[in-house]
Amino acid sequence: MAELDTDVADGEGGRVASGKVSLAALTALGIGSMIGGGIFGLPQQMADAAAPGPLIIGWLITGAGMLMLAFVYQRLAINLPEINAGVYGYARAGFGNLVGFSSAWGYWLSAWIGNVGYLVLLMASLGVFLPGFGNGNTALAIGIASVVMWMYHALILRGIREAAIINAIVTVGKVLPLIVFVLIGLFAFKLDIFTHDFWGAGVGTGFGAVVAQVKNMMLVTVWVFIGVEGASVFSERARTRADIGRATILGFLSVLALLLAVNILSYGIVPRSELAKLGDPSLAGVLEAAVGPWGAKFIALGLIVSLVGALLSWFLMLAEIMRVPAQEGLMPSFLGRENAKAVPVNALWLTMGLVQLFLIWTYFNASTYTRLIHLASALILLPYLLSALFQVLVTIRDRSRGGYFDLVIGVLGSVYGLWLLYAAGLVYLLYTAIFYLLGLPFYIWARREQEAKVFNTAEWGLVVLFAVMSVYAVYGLATGALSL
């Protein structure tokens, strides 16, 4: 649990100022942001994408790739302690102002769209116990979700550190139901169920069919790991920079172990054909098959606790990722203003306002939770790739900033980032271009506030690329040639 002491040694002979976030709280922020609703819907989403054999291959790729990204954030935090705000700071330092802004913008969009999905899923989970919530987008559900959202707003306004401590407590509560599932799953697991149709013969045979299944599960695996960079987003508020790296690796390994156990055990409890038909949260259906009706309610309760914590983690990071670029002149300056508790209030108000509008939109549109998380996952792919590419640049330019290990993890992280872009597919990448293009007025506003040149030659090329991709996406949407 996060300590409350006010002045501690930094491990290097110095002192750390009061009000900083501890290692335990940073780790909890990472775990809390990664473990949200994704792991509870994982069995159905994965069963819909891949048979057990391709599933294992996909998890090996994901585990190795995300471990490289975790190491990237760890090493950059140690070697470049002067850079703040993680995905934004690294993209700006490596590739310039517009790319840095776009990384922060994409990350912010991904996070608040994901939070809308979380709120809808939270209301659907309450529907297991209470009438009137439906699939999470009834009038009652949207009303209650709105109240919950503004309660988070009030809590965060009381202070980043105080909210982080509460998040650390909630994180413990959300992990316990998953551990119970794993323990029960070990006894309920049946090898014959797991190995039946191991390579997915129903979708074809051969290497191409296996690759297709692995590709299909990639956006889901990205979604459940979004937040691996959570500690780095709070780099400026950490007690020591070394804590950022430690929290990143500790959080990643803990979540990876839980994800693998939950997913693989599910395939040995319920046949894949039945797993693919389960409703959200599908983990409830798996535990119900193992122990009876109480299992579904137990998981639904665990999901509610998990989502409460995940929403707090992400609302914290949403405000923070806007604050630093605003204070550095790449976002409008009003987004960087803080209250007496050092909370970026305007960034928080903007974020909450958009989440509220999108919640209302879900009442009138039947967008599924899965589509929301796929879009949120696609939007974060560019920030992840840029961080890995920056790690490569740093080690090539200045060997004192890292050795061969740093170069290897940068290269492998970059390869994984490119693979994710390929796996996401052209349609999602085209739609993300629209969202990136919509952010440019904020960038122009900020640059004019600074009385600085808006775009250089290379940045004009990026603007044109976003515009062309957006026009093609809008045309595809209008003609029906493209759809999510």
Q: pLDDT, tens digit, for every residue of 314-369?
A: 787 777 788 888 988 899 999 888 888 778 889 889 999 999 998 888 887 755 56
Q: How confident is the model at residue 16 (pLDDT cuts 50, 70, 90)?
A: very low
- Does residue 480 fall inside a structural domain? no
In this prediction, residue 15 carries a pLDDT of 35
> DSSP label at 20?
P
**HSE toward the beta carbon, residue 25, CA cutoff 13 A:** 24
Asked if the bond preceding 441 is cis, omega within 30° of 0, the reply is: no
Residue with the two structure tokens 């949403």: 318
User: Is the separation of the CB atoms in 45 and 282 below 8 Å?
Assistant: yes
**Helices vs. strands in the chain: H and E counts, helices first:** 21, 2
Q: Structural domain of residue 246, as residue ranges?
A: 23-415
Q: What is the average pLDDT across 172-188? A: 89
Q: What is the average pLDDT across 396-403? A: 76
Mean pLDDT for the chain overall: 83
Most confident among 99-103, 197-201, 311-315, 420-424 (mean pLDDT): 99-103
**Of 15 and 95, the one with more pLDDT:** 95
- Mapping DSSP to helix (H, G, I), strand (E, B) and coil, where does residue 481 land? coil
Please state, in angstroms and rounded to a whole number, the distance separating the CA atoms of residues 447 and 294. Answer: 57
Q: How confident is the model at residue 234 (pLDDT cuts 50, 70, 90)?
A: low
CATH code for the domain of 116: 1.20.1740.10
The continuous run of DSSP H or E covering 60 comes out as helix 52-79
- Mapping DSSP to helix (H, G, I), strand (E, B) and coil, where does residue 15 land? strand
- Does residue 3 fall inside a structural domain? no
- Does residue 8 fall inside a structural domain? no
Opening angle at CA 313, ends 173 and 302, nearest 5: 30
- Does residue 463 fall inside a structural domain? no
Please state, in angstroms and rounded to a whole number, the distance separating the CA atoms of residues 313 and 155. Answer: 12
Report the number of distinct structural domains present in the chain. Answer: 1
- Does residue 365 fall inside a structural domain? yes
Within 8 A by CB and 6+ apart from 295, the residues are 184, 284, 287, 288, 289
In this prediction, residue 163 carries a pLDDT of 62
Say if pTM beats, i.e. exceeds, 0.75: yes
β-bridge mates for residue 238, sequence order:
21
- Mapping DSSP to helix (H, G, I), strand (E, B) and coil, where does residue 5 land? coil
- Does residue 433 fall inside a structural domain? no
Q: Rounded to whole angstroms, what are the CA distances from 348 to 20, 321, 435?
A: 20, 10, 19
In this prediction, residue 484 carries a pLDDT of 60
- Does residue 424 fall inside a structural domain? no
In this prediction, residue 244 carries a pLDDT of 80
Lowest mean pLDDT of 64-73, 81-90, 92-101, 218-227, name the range: 218-227
Q: pLDDT, tens digit, for every residue of 112-128?
A: 888 888 888 888 888 87
- Does residue 298 fall inside a structural domain? yes
Instruction: Please give the torsion angle defined by the CA atoms of residues 36, 37, 38 and 41, in that order, rounded to the nearest 10 degrees.
Output: 150
In this prediction, residue 9 carries a pLDDT of 40
Q: Chain-centre distance of CA 129, in angstroms?
A: 28
Q: What is the average pLDDT across 363-383? A: 74
Q: pLDDT, tens digit, for every residue of 287-302?
A: 999 999 899 889 888 8
Q: Rounded to whole angstroms, what are the CA distances from 62 to 180, 249, 325?
A: 25, 15, 30
Q: How confident is the model at residue 162 (pLDDT cuts 50, 70, 90)?
A: low
Q: pLDDT, tens digit, for every residue of 251-308?
A: 888 888 999 999 999 999 999 989 988 877 889 899 999 999 899 889 888 888 888 8
